Structure 1
Amino acid sequence: MWSRYIRIALLLYALGVLAALSGCGASAPRVDFEAERRATSAYAVGPGDVLEVRAWKNEALSHRVTVRPDGFITVPLVGDIMASGRTVMGIAEEIATQAARFYHEKPVVSVEVAELHSYRVYVMGEVSRPGEFTPTAQITVLQALALAGGFTRFADPDEVVIVRRDALGERRIPFVFEQVVGQGDLRGDLPLQTNDTVVVP
């Protein structure tokens, strides 16, 4: 009699555990890959980067400058402009706005990254060559894994995460290798921001 009650209790316990597990799976955070891609599409300039400032029909403003350790650049006529953490479009707009004080018409200014020196990403865990990488252009998760020599035989490729810290805070973005490579869903192959860490368990 008691053994029957024990079996029923164990069955109910097992069902409760399964329900809890399935509930956890259902509440797993969903990632807006498109939003992450948009946030990373424009490179944020950093110290050490070399910028090419070009002003249409204006040699006085056209200049190649290096972002100083304090994040500023010095532009002729304009003076110091904060560049670190900003996009080239934002920097160009501020240069044009500041320079407008010296001209009858607001100059047309463009800024390009001539040399990339502040961009760095990290790959940790079960890869052949873990560590810090400083590519000369922005790379994606797959490219970072290739730089790190690929997975070791102990890796779990479907449990890879990107640890990202930016203005939105710190978060873990999943990268499922089978979905990206096996199923061709390239949304998960996100461009990496500087200081992103790819963790391979």
Structure 2
Amino acid sequence: MRPRCAWIALLCSTLGSLAAPSGCGGRALRVDFEAERSATSAYVVGPGDVLEVRAWKNEALSRRVTVRPDGFITVPLVGDVMAAGRTGMTIAEEIESQAARYYNERPLVSVEVAELHSYRIYVMGEVSRPGEFTPRAQITVLQALALAGGFTRFADPDEVVIVRRDVRGERMIPFAFDEVVGKGDLRGDLPLQTNDTVVVP
């Protein structure tokens, strides 16, 4: 088995025999890049993140809150609202729905992420500085590779994969370096979700 394939084979075994890239003798990975990009277009809140809750013409509901370890935030009148695992838009809709019980008109609420603290990604394999990274903003695959110091001389850039676990399950997403950098096809330079792992064989 070629060295770069050994990385993927080990990873596949660990994750429950996910499909391996075609270059390692497995079935080719088929990816809907638009669907993956859409899934990461809105940041998913996690514990420790700081949210800015703003209610139009309503100071009582407007404040900055931190997502607790149990995933909830506390909003005046409304009480506890689950925030972890949701986007700012869905959190705002929940606050509006709950607060409507106390007002003649449903309040207009927006929720923005003021500080990221739960966002973390991993880069492993043939990079200069493999490990865990906690950027203060969502980053793409290329930016993650830059944080990890770039490829070593043993790396195979066109066999890079993103290992992702979310509500859609576990899967491996190919990252064709030459297509993205050499040919300028930026569809493959996906934004990374929290806990994504970029593997460089």
| Fold similarity call, TM over 0.5 | yes
* Offset, 1:28: 1.8
Task: Return 5+ residue gaps in structure 1 as ranges.
Answer: 1-21
* Offset, 1:29: 2.9
Q: Note the 1:30-69 alignment, pairs <5 A.
A: 30-69=30-69
Task: Give distance in 2, aligned partners of 1:54 and 1:31.
Answer: 38
Task: Give distance in 2, aligned partners of 1:172 and 1:98.
Answer: 39
Task: Give distance in 2, aligned partners of 1:149 and 1:84.
Answer: 31
Measured against aligned partners, the alpha-carbon deviations of 1:92-132 in whole angstroms (never above 9, x if no partner) come to 01101100111000000000001000000000000000000
* Offset, 1:25: 8.1
Paired residue for 2:75?
75
Between the two proteins, what is the percent identity of the paired residues? 86
| TM, length-normalised to structure 2 | 0.87
Paired residue for 2:7?
none
SS at match of 2:40: helix
SS at match of 1:100: helix
Please identify which structure carries the higher helix content: 1
Indicate the structure whose relative CO is greater, using CA pairs within 8 Å and at least 6 residues apart: 2
Task: Give distance in 2, aligned partners of 1:69 and 1:27.
Answer: 40
| TM, length-normalised to structure 1 | 0.87
Measured against aligned partners, the alpha-carbon deviations of 1:142-183 in whole angstroms (never above 9, x if no partner) come to 000000000000000000000000011100000010000001
State the AA in 1 paired with 2:136: T
Paired residue for 2:113?
113
* Offset, 1:26: 11
**Is residue 51–residue 114 contact of structure 2 (8 Å, CA) maintained in 1?**
yes
Paired residue for 2:163?
163
Q: Note the 1:7-156 alignment, pairs <5 A.
A: 28-156=28-156
Task: Return 5+ residue gaps in structure 2 as ranges.
Answer: 1-21
Task: Give distance in 2, aligned partners of 1:66 and 1:178.
Answer: 41
Larger Rg: 1
